[in-house]
């Protein structure tokens, strides 16, 4: 018998995604290959997957000091949420209700809402408090089965406040067992002090913010959109970020078409995100590249809009497609990837297989973490999402609530959303139980 640290056994269905390659994006038909093992098991040592298979096969070969029985549950790779904004100080529920009552963007802005409201809150909040808020937000992802996130700054919009945001993120990550790639998003909006001199703010981002903050980030993002950062300004930001060794991500073609997807491909960006107004040329550009199209249906739903990204056309063209929550205080206040699955299925006509792939291996590829997570191949981190669902086919169908009963990060159970009928998995006070 081979000794391991822990066995997870008797999974009703273990969705491994291991019938495809361990790395690289899944496109087209390959997005529907899940590698499902009934009565599945996972052997873990040192936080890594040693083997997956049927419970009988794994139990016959491996011996562990601890064994967790997951009878009745569907187990997936931990979700990878590759577009989030968790570093903020206050929520913006007042403007949500204004929007629901019919107020437009200008009315909300005039009332002190919008991104600039979050900017003011971040600027006024000390580092310790901002760190505490970010810690809460990161634990929220884990509670919803997400074990890896991409986390953006972007609510500071000054060198000092953006640095504070990235320092708060670093301090929060030291306290939460979640994997993360950090993104500098100083080019999120124009702060009031530069409203009448946008060129000066672009210069500030490129010549001061990026050089100073590159050591605190892995990526740089830009909100490429008419009325925000136009094509020339966006290109300047991307070029400056690339020159300082940062990976690139782009808020592209969200509200109005601006060839943002093509810009992302031109600069070799890891992702083009939103894409509600992507053009046929943009779809073709993505399909011929390794730039991942990150779709955010929660934002369109939350804003009461209807222009969802054309997921079917993108998948059929061969684009690498991912899903993310866009968790933020203003335009999509959710950390639930399972809710995003439901929206992707109903509003963008994606299949259950496609949404699973789009929230595991494809976003992992966009973060250059596909060798670490996104599938249950041996050697990868033992990150698991345990769902109280009758089958993987209920992904997307199970609307609302939180079907995640346990989240495992690096082989350790870190969150349990338990009720009376679940087994006694934990001893001691280590896991967070809600």
HEC profile of the chain: CEEEEEEEEEEEEEECCCCCCCCCCCCHHHHHCCCEEEEEEEEEECCEEEEEEEHHHHHHHEEEEEEEECCCCEEEECEEEEEECCCCCCCCHHHHHHHHCCCCHHHHHHCCCCHHHHHHHHHHCCHHHHHHHHHHHHHHHHHCCEEEEEEECCCCCCHHHHHHHHHHHHHHHCCCCCEEEEEEEEECCCCHHHCCCHHHHHHHHHHHHHHHHHHHCCEEEEEECCCCECHHHHHHHHHHHHHCCCEEEEEECCCCCCCHHHHHHHCCCCEEEECCCCCHHHHHHHHCCCCEEEECHHHHHHCCCCCCCCHHHHHHHCCCEEECCCCCCCCCCCCCHHHHHHHHHHHHCCCHHHHHHHCCHHHHHHCCCCCCCCCCCCCCECCEEEECCCCHHHCCCCCCCCCEEEEEECCEEEEECCCCCCCCCCCCCCCEEC
Domain containing 47: what range? 2-78+375-433
Out of 333, 366, 399, pick the residue that ends a domain.
366
| Count of beta carbons in the 10 Å neighbourhood of residue 390 | 13
> In the chain, how many domains are there?
2
CA angle 179–74–68, rounded 5-degree value:
75
Residue with tokens 């990060």: 409
Q: Which residues of the chain have pLDDT under 70?
A: 106, 418-434
Dihedral Cα 305, 309, 310, 316, nearest 10 deg: -160
Residues 400 and 321 in one domain: no
- For the entire predicted model, the pTM comes to 0.95
Residues 214 and 346 in one domain: yes
Whole-angstrom Cα distance, residue 27 to residue 316? 8
Residues 159 and 300 in one domain: yes
Residues 136 and 85 in one domain: yes
CA distances from 53 to 17, 50, 60, 63, 384 (A): 12, 11, 11, 14, 15
CATH number at residue 41: 2.30.40.10
Residues 334 and 410 in one domain: no
CATH number at residue 171: 3.20.20.140
Residue with tokens 């209920």: 394
Residues 192 and 277 in one domain: yes
Out of 312, 332, 366, pick the residue that ends a domain.
366
> Which residues are CB-contacts of 95 (< 8 A; sequence separation ≥ 6)?
103, 108, 111, 113, 114, 117, 330
> Which residues are CB-contacts of 60 (< 8 A; sequence separation ≥ 6)?
none
| Count of beta carbons in the 10 Å neighbourhood of residue 112 | 12
Residues 219 and 100 in one domain: yes
Residues 68 and 161 in one domain: no
End-to-end CA distance of the chain: 36
CA distances from 281 to 249, 284, 311 (A): 19, 5, 15
The pLDDT of residue 433: 47
The pLDDT of residue 426: 60
Whole-angstrom Cα distance, residue 271 to residue 251? 9
Residues 229 and 113 in one domain: yes
């Amino acid at each position: 018998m081979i000794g391991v640290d822990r066995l997870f056994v008797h999974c009703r269905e273990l969705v491994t995604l291991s019938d495809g390659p361990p790395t690289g994006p899944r496109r087209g038909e390959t997005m529907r290959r899940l590698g499902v093992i009934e009565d599945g098991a996972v052997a873990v040592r040192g936080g890594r997957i040693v083997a997956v298979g049927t419970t009988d096969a794994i139990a016959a070969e491996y011996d562990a000091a601890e064994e967790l029985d997951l009878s009745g549950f569907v187990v997936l790779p931990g979700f990878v949420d590759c577009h989030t904004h968790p570093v903020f100080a206050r929520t913006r529920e007042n403007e949500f209700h204004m929007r629901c009552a019919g107020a437009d963007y200008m009315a909300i802005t005039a009332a002190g809402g919008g991104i600039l409201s979050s900017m003011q809150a971040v600027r006024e909040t000390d580092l310790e408090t901002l760190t505490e808020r970010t810690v809460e937000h990161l634990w929220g992802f884990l509670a919803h089965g997400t074990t890896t996130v991409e986390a953006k700054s972007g609510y500071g919009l000054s060198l000092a406040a953006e640095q504070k945001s990235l320092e708060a993120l670093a301090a929060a990550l030291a306290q939460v067992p979640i994997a993360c790639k950090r993104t500098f998003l100083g080019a999120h909006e124009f702060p009031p002090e530069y409203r009448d001199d946008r060129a000066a703010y672009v210069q500030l981002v490129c010549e001061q913010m990026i050089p100073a903050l590159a050591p605190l980030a892995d990526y740089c993002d830009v909100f490429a959109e008419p009325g925000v950062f136009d094509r020339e300004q966006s290109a300047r930001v991307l070029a400056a970020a690339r020159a300082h060794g940062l990976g690139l991500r782009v808020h592209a073609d969200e509200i109005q078409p601006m060839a943002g997807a093509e810009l992302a491909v031109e600069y070799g960006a890891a992702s083009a995100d939103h894409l509600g107004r992507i053009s046929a040329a943009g779809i073709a550009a993505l399909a011929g590249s390794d730039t991942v199209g990150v779709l955010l249906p929660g934002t369109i739903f939350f804003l009461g809009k209807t222009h969802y990204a054309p997921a079917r056309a993108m998948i059929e063209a061969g684009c690498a497609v991912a899903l993310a929550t866009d968790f933020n205080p203003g335009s999509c206040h959710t950390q639930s990837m399972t809710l995003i699955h439901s929206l992707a299925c109903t509003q963008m006509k994606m299949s259950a297989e496609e949404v699973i792939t789009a929230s595991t291996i494809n976003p992992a590829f966009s973060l250059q973490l596909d060798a670490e997570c996104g599938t249950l191949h041996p050697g990868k981190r033992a990150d698991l999402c345990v769902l109280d669902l009758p089958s993987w086919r209920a992904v997307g169908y199970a609307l609302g609530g939180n079907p995640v009963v346990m989240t495992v990060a690096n082989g350790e159970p870190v969150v349990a959303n338990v009720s009376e009928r679940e087994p006694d998995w934990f001893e001691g006070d280590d896991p967070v139980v809600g």
